[in-house]
Chain A
Amino acid sequence: MRLSLLALLAKEPAHGYELKQALEQIFGSAYPPPNIGQIYVTLGRLEKDGLVRAVDVEQSNRPNKKVYYLTAAGRDALDAWVDEPTEGPRVRDEFFMKLVLAPMTGIADRMALINRQRRHYLGLMRDLNELADRTDREDYVALLLIEGAMLHLQADLDWLERCQEDLS
């Protein structure tokens, strides 16, 4: 949330509600609708860290609203985030630990573990297929996210196959 707010403010100063609307518009269904309270809490923390500043703007018949803008430090933090490579997906997950440690427990059969995991991943893939079917064709950000999840699952399945070949 912190960095998406900084990115939006890099485009133009905005108040909290505008930021909420912008997030909804950009991400479509790819991001759970942000909670306005959470946005204000995050903006407060960003302000405390010196990454944004707020100015009060007077409104007729209403309480003042706070318009936030990015500071130079905020700009630097945003640039650093965009410029640095993002960590790759984790492979050493819980399943990997089970697979390696299974023989020590004397209970779990590795092939059975792999088979069960494969069926589970295929079940997840089926959920993603259904989700893609339900998603609006215009909502390309959401579709890209689903596609990314599918490709990760495919890689997980390919890896299971590799494990099965090498451990059999």
Chain B
Amino acid sequence: MSPPPVVHAVNLVKIYQNGGVPVPAVRGVDLRVEAGQFVAITGPSGSGKSTLVHMLGGLDTRTSGEIWLDGKRADTLGESAWALLRRQKIGFVFQFFNLVANMTVADNVELPALLAGASAREARERREHLLGELGLTDRADASPAQLAGGEQQRVALARALANRPSLLLADEPTGNLDSRNTRDVLRLLGEVHRDGQTVILVTHDARVASLADRVVSLLDGEIVDDGFIGATRRRPRGTAGDVVELRG
């Protein structure tokens, strides 16, 4: 028997109440993600992308429907059980970082690994590796408030990856980055994917989405497309000069 999907959402619905008026954000989403898959979720703003990924990480409650993680029912868990689940196997990158303000960058990144039971040395080595990959080695002793938005965003990614989560959930992980920093993030996400971790991320950035195996498009809280990115008919033969042909 094949292992259960890492994530399985069944007819997931989220309706917010706005001054007594129900506002549907997610309207019956079915999503099944197998281990090791990299899924990008795209769609216009207000299409329910962030709400969906927040529900999958237990950061927002569902209105109805089911969430199964590794074959276990998760939508019925309480807050503390979700917190434990996140500590053990889910990394989450928030759109607005949520770094701990009175801790250094290094401590922010090491904390999840320490909470998950890593030794101080393991946590430090992992943190050094992640900050190095993201070009943040010399910011380790800074506090989050001293960092630019793009730096905070990369720290948030490093923190989410600190305990090698089997599932990485991310909400616009490159939203505040320039192209060079985006390249670092893309490289790290590629590494995470090659290591067999499952990745589900919400993104507007086509460079990030194109790394995914599969793209899910949302519109008005519903999935309107779900499929694999196909090979293009014309592969670039080798150099940037061919970009001209690629576009022609």
Interface residues of A (CB under 8 A from B): 27-33, 111, 115, 118-132, 134-135, 139, 142-143, 145-147, 149-150, 152-154, 157-158, 161-162, 164-165, 168
Contact = CB atoms under 8 A, between A and B. Distances in A.
A158 B217 CA distance: 12
Interface residues of B, number: 36
A124 B246 contact: yes
A33 B186 CA distance: 30
Interface string B206-244: 110111000101011000110111111001101111111
A150 B206 contact: yes
Nearest to A144: B240
Interface of B: 42-44, 179, 183, 186, 204-207, 209-211, 215, 217, 219-220, 224-225, 227-232, 235-236, 238-244, 246-247
Contacts of A121: 206
Contacts of A27: 241
B243 A161 contact: no
Most chain A C-beta atoms within 10 Å of own C-beta, residue among B215, B231, B236 = B236
Given A30-B240, A122-B229, A134-B238, A150 B215 contact: no
A139 B246 contact: no
A164 B207 CA distance: 20
A32 B210 contact: no
A95 B207 CA distance: 21
Contacts of B42: 118, 161
